[in-house]
A = this chain, B = another copy of it.
């Protein structure tokens, strides 16, 4: 039933290799800065791709995706917060920070899904890339809101009363959500893809496009992510059974919402619907963690990092993507 051939693509295999390398305690190590550099490259590449495609579609088509993306970014973290505090009795500050991660997205998971689809020659709508860019930020706002609500409920007086720290104000934190490096790169590159002359864009595409070196770079990046994910396994015991389970159930919840949104609300193809499911199912590890570390210092970073990188990311890459794709084909059945 479960079709393993979806795993036999380099992106997934390199992820597994990195995971394995870490499990057998190899001394394999990426030099400081390498994966940060690869991340910058990937975000620019995906942004350019999105922008070039966007320039082709008409705006009225795209507007639905934008609305859907914002809605997903607001709804999923609220659901996550509900599950965490009500089912799991997770502390409110931790729950706020974790929830924000699930409302945002993981670009690497998205790209792995793209690689998965392309290996099967499945087309997808390019709006999904806009959704990726848009979904980076709203969840951060929800996270800030949940945290300040939680603080009031817990009688903490948090950031705002601190005279010495203007960065702690809500306005500043909001600005952080939109000036995060990843967000700026994605949106900026998308804009460049839209407005640059097509002749001049052709000159840079061997570097950034999927016909060029993009997919190879992605593989190398996933090798590194595999090592990072495996490293987090040691934390499983510390974060506990409930949270590990949450890290696998929450993507499924998100995926269902995403599938419904993609198929019924946006009327996308199988490929597009799969990608929306992946967006809703994935958890951020680029834009959201620093925002939460800054804005919700009361939350334990081990919890959200272990969940996003150590549980949900591997779950989506290995099990989730083929599953969501399967589900999307059923919807079209």
B180→A26 contact, CB < 8 A: yes
Taking the closest CB of chain B, its distance from the CB of A234, in whole angstroms, is 17
A203→B33 contact, CB < 8 A: no
B33→A32 contact, CB < 8 A: yes
Knowing A213-B206, A213-B207, say if A188 contacts B40 (CB, 8 Å): no
Q: Considering only CB atoms, which chain B residue lies closest to A207 in the complex?
A: B216
Asked whether A30 is an interface residue with its Cβ less than 8 Å from the other chain, the reply is yes
B181→A21 contact, CB < 8 A: yes
Q: Which of A49-70 contact B (CB under 8 A)?
A: none
Q: Considering only CB atoms, which chain B residue lies closest to A9 in the complex?
A: B200
Asked whether A239 is an interface residue with its Cβ less than 8 Å from the other chain, the reply is no
Knowing A27-B180, A30-B40, A34-B33, say if A14 contacts B192 (CB, 8 Å): yes
A28→B184 contact, CB < 8 A: yes
Q: Considering only CB atoms, which chain B residue lies closest to A21 in the complex?
A: B184
* Chain B residues near A119 (CB-CB < 8 A): 197, 199-200, 203
Knowing A213-B212, A217-B207, say if A197 contacts B9 (CB, 8 Å): yes
Asked whether A208 is an interface residue with its Cβ less than 8 Å from the other chain, the reply is yes
A188→B32 contact, CB < 8 A: no
Asked whether A86 is an interface residue with its Cβ less than 8 Å from the other chain, the reply is no
* Chain B residues near A192 (CB-CB < 8 A): 10, 13-14, 17
Chain A residues touching B, range: 35 or more
Complex CA distance for A195 and B12, rounded to whole angstroms: 12
Q: Say how many copies of this protein the assembly contains.
A: 3
A8→B184 contact, CB < 8 A: no
Asked whether A266 is an interface residue with its Cβ less than 8 Å from the other chain, the reply is no
- Give A15-39 as 1s and 0s: 1 = Cβ < 8 Å from B's Cβ atoms: 0010011001111111111101100
* Chain B residues near A218 (CB-CB < 8 A): 204
A203→B13 contact, CB < 8 A: no
* Chain B residues near A199 (CB-CB < 8 A): 119
Knowing A26-B184, A32-B32, A290-B27, say if A8 contacts B195 (CB, 8 Å): yes
Asked whether A179 is an interface residue with its Cβ less than 8 Å from the other chain, the reply is yes
Knowing A26-B180, A213-B207, say if A8 contacts B188 (CB, 8 Å): no
Asked whether A308 is an interface residue with its Cβ less than 8 Å from the other chain, the reply is no
Complex CA distance for A235 and B116, rounded to whole angstroms: 49
The residue that A200 contacts in the complex, of B8, B32, B206, B217, with Cβ under 8 A, is B8
Asked whether A115 is an interface residue with its Cβ less than 8 Å from the other chain, the reply is yes
Asked whether A196 is an interface residue with its Cβ less than 8 Å from the other chain, the reply is yes
Asked whether A220 is an interface residue with its Cβ less than 8 Å from the other chain, the reply is yes
B197→A26 contact, CB < 8 A: no
Knowing A179-B24, A197-B119, A220-B41, say if A203 contacts B31 (CB, 8 Å): no
Supplied contacts A10-B204, A17-B191, 7 more A-B pairs, CB within 8 Å: A20-B188, A27-B180, A27-B290, A31-B34, A34-B36, A40-B220, A207-B215
User: Can you list 21 A-B pairs, Cβ within 8 angstroms, ordered by A?
Assistant: A9-B197, A9-B200, A13-B191, A13-B196, A20-B184, A21-B181, A24-B179, A25-B179, A26-B184, A27-B180, A28-B185, A31-B37, A32-B32, A40-B220, A44-B220, A115-B200, A115-B203, A203-B210, A207-B214, A207-B215, A207-B217
